[in-house]
Amino acid sequence: MKNAFTGKHGPLLIAEIGGNHEGDFEYAKRLCQLAIESEADYIKFQIYTGNTLVSPVESPDRNKHFKKFELTKEQHIELAEMVIKAGRHYTASIWDDKIIEWMDPYMELYKIGSGDLTAYAIIKSIVKKKKPIILSTGLATEKEILETVAYIQGLDEMYRKPENFAVLQCTAMYPIDYGDANLNVMLRLKEKTGLTVGYSDHTTDSKALLYATAMGAEVLEFHFTDSREGKIFRDHKVSLTKEDTLNLIEEIKIIKKLKGDFEKKPTKIELDNDHVKSFRRATYLNKDLAAGQTIGEEDLVFLRPNVGIDARHYQNIIGKKLTKPIKAYEKIDAESLI
């Protein structure tokens, strides 16, 4: 089965426009076009209404905030079609299970944001669509993460397979210091779940994304904007631009080359330059010995190049007699020994 989390450049790259459009549809389209040009694998939005996300009674200010950021059903569909027409992949965090039905035709995978890790009813609606899922883990304890993973896997066996389920380390604050990234959690999640793992970033540059890649992240999610300058909304501060994203991809290519593969063997460049011979030592005599003389350990020295008797096999020639005279530092052939 195809792994849903394989990116063009290695880790799957998700450019999260999210709420950076701030409710302006023309701006949303402009950001979408820039994200398409950035070579990210997925362009991601957030879909919600204020009243289906935040209580207008318990948190009226937050409710008003999210209402200002709403886009219509038709606008979200137009953005999805824009992404797909450009040959990119579209996804969204859907924070209202009623919206899932009309966005599902455009979704190849679902992203469950950190705030919804415990929203089991919404998660259940997503699982019913039987598409790959990415789960962010900001705010969560390890116990809560494993409980949600078990809940999802209990609903459908397909999510026991790493090609269908990814878990991302995330810190749900905007922005965060390097010390709050906790990239080692990725390794712990890999150990505990066996699933695809990755990192969702809220720092103010791309360093954490690069180090996460070097540590084995298979999915990288980052917020995306046109510019961080002069912006008030917090998410812009933790966002990459088109240029940043293209630079990130170039750095990922370098990391991929540096990491290589898992098999340790001499590289082509080492072999082509004959360094196995020129860097390693062989066994030599430290003095001239005549034919018939017996070689003692005190007669030996170990020098480059590795010709004749390899230094690993020096004990095999101790006590042997020479069939011909050998000068100091001259190569010793096996034929020279009795």
Answer whether the bond into residue 305 is a cis peptide, omega within 30°. yes
Query: Domains in the chain, start-ordered, CATH in brackets?
Result: 6-259 (3.20.20.70), 268-336 (3.90.1210.10)
* Closest-CA residue to 202 (of 228, 234, 226): 234
Residue 1 pLDDT: 54
Lowest mean pLDDT among 133-147, 163-177, 206-220, 227-241: 227-241
| Among candidate residues 338, 235, 215, 248, the one with its CA nearest the CA of residue 14 | 248
Tell me how far CA of residue 208 lies from CA of 110, 122, 169, 250, 325, in angstroms. 24, 30, 11, 15, 64
**pLDDT tens, residue by residue, 257-295:** 999 999 999 999 999 999 999 999 999 999 999 999 999
What pLDDT is attached to residue 231? 86
> CA–CA separation, 296 vs 315, rounded Å?
10
Residues 6+ apart with CB under 8 A from 268: none
Strand partners, 90: 43
CB neighbour class for 292 (10 Å; exposed up to 12, middle 13-18, buried from 19): exposed
The answer to whether the beta carbons of residues 136 and 186 sit under 8 Å apart is: no
| Mean pLDDT along residues 289-314 | 98
pTM of the predicted model as reported, rounded to 2 decimal places = 0.91
pLDDT tens for 55-89 read 999 999 999 988 998 999 999 999 999 999 999 99
Determine contact, residues 30/226, Cβ cutoff 8 Å: yes
Does the structure show a pLDDT above 80 at 162?
Answer: yes
d(CA 152, CA 246): 34
